[in-house]
Amino acid sequence: MRVLFATWAWSTHYYPMVPLAWACRAEGLDVRVASQPELTSTIRATGLPAVRVGRDVDAAGLYRTRVHPMMDYGADGGLTPEELAARDRERHLTALGLYVEIMEAMAPDLLEFARAWRPDAVVYDPMTWAAPLAARELGVPAVRNLFGPDIGYRFRPEGEGVLDPLMAALGTREPDTVGDLTVDPCPPALQNDAPLKRCRFSYVPFSGLSDVPPRVHERSARPRVCLTWGTSTDRLTGRESFLPGDVLGAVASAGADVVLAITARQRSLLPDLPARVRVVESVPLDVLLPTCDVVVHQGGGGTTLTAAKYGVPQLHLPQLPDQMINSRHLAATGAGLLLRSDEASSDAVRDCVRRLLEEGSPHRAAATTLAGDMAAQPALSTVVEEIVRLAA
């Protein structure tokens, strides 16, 4: 049996698919991973066969110049309900436009490869809309692989008219981007309630090639807080968005040792470091977070799920719309706290970290419960079995 994995060229959308791709290979299935040329070396580094399709799109540049300026919500004073609705509609269509460009770049080549290779199922990132189109053209199951709270369910192009020119050029009609099955690492408490055919599984973190410092597990008698800012936010919104304001100083003043987890690329973005701050580069969060008492981050899906898996209370400081959605879901479980950008003063950040560190904190108890819920979900092999059944 052949399974085609497809994603646009963004590593944090690809990495959540790697454990499932390897689970398929472990069961003897033939796997290919299709993406734009920019992601080819990343796919190879995960040990999976890469297929180049289409052309690269400067998604980060388009987001910074086209989408992000419209997401500066600011004050709504003086706007009527109709004006607010029109503004939100314009933002929605502008954001859709970015993924339409990615679909235009990928669809012709992905369709050509899929018709030649004839996969029995297509597994895809929720924002890679060329993939369910290929699955429908072949008459095989389209399996949507989530990486956190389902931001894509309501962010779909169907019925919006944005795909009409591309569909006319390809001589087809727009696909159902939800597909036939959604595979989901989130426990129900952390996920949207939507009418989907869903297969849940126990989340398996993956963060690419990395080194583990031999003494990363060593810690003092003081509490330990991990501060990280993901790998995407500063690329999408600019260097100035990396650790905005005095977040680092506020976390360092909360009475704990701080481990600042960054990539090598982010080293040049760091300010002067306060005392008791240790910097680690490209250390997998599933290695680091089990040694920490709290994690402070921007609300990305991977960090959220990894912290939840290990029962670590979280403080979210979201910078992007999808991060805000993740943060609201996490805060609703009680396993963490949320501060919007207009609330994240130094005092507020420090006070939230201290609340999460307190012995007997209800947030710590909720984080432990959430970790138990995640551990109780089925293994990835269950997802593979379901894909095989669908394809049959």
pLDDT at 240: 80
In contact, 274 and 297? CB cutoff 8 Å: no
Indicate the number of domains in the chain: 2
Asked whether the beta carbons of 288 and 347 are under 8 A apart, the reply is no
122 with 270, same domain: the answer is no
**What's the mean per-residue pLDDT of the chain?**
93
Q: How confident is the model at residue 73 (pLDDT cuts 50, 70, 90)?
A: very low
Q: Given pLDDT bands bounded at 50, 70 and 90, which one contains residue 77?
A: low
Domain match, 117 and 10 both: yes
Kindly indicate the confidence band of residue 88, based on its pLDDT and cuts at 50, 70 and 90.
confident
Domain membership flag for residue 51? yes
Residue 214 in domain: no
Other CB atoms within 10 Å distance of the CB of residue 53? 22
26-61: pLDDT as tens digits: 999 999 999 999 999 999 999 999 999 999 999 999
For residue 105, give its domain range. 2-202+377-391
The strands making up 314-316's β-sheet, listed across from edge to edge, are 277-281, 257-262, 224-228, 294-297, 314-316, 336-338
Assigned domain for 99 exists: yes
Euclidean distance between CA atoms 216 and 220, whole angstroms: 12
pTM over 0.85: yes
Q: Alpha-carbon distance 290 to 44, whole Å? A: 29
In this model, does residue 171 exceed pLDDT 50? yes
Instruction: Provide the pLDDT confidence category of residue 182 given band limits of 50, 70 and 90.
Output: very high
One domain for residues 175 and 301:
no
| Same-domain check for residues 29 and 110 | yes
Torsion angle (degrees, nearest 10) of CA 234, 237, 242, 244: -170
Q: For residue 217, is it within any domain?
A: no
Per-residue pLDDT at 215? 84
Rounded mean pLDDT, 291-320? 97
First-last CA distance in the chain: 10
Say if 84 falls within a structural domain. yes
How sure is the predictor about 72, in pLDDT bands with cuts at 50, 70 and 90? low
Claim to verify: residue 354 and residue 382 sit in the same structural domain:
no
Compare 217 and 315 and report the one with higher pLDDT: 315
Task: Determine contact, residues 262/279, Cβ cutoff 8 Å.
Answer: yes
The predicted-structure confidence for 232-247, as pLDDT tens digits, reads as follows 888 888 888 888 778 9
Average pLDDT over residues 142-160: 94
> Does residue 30 sit in the same domain as residue 91?
yes
Are residues 232 and 146 part of one domain?
no
- Which residue in the block uniquely carries the two structure tokens 């990486």? 147
The CATH number of residue 261's host domain is 3.40.50.2000
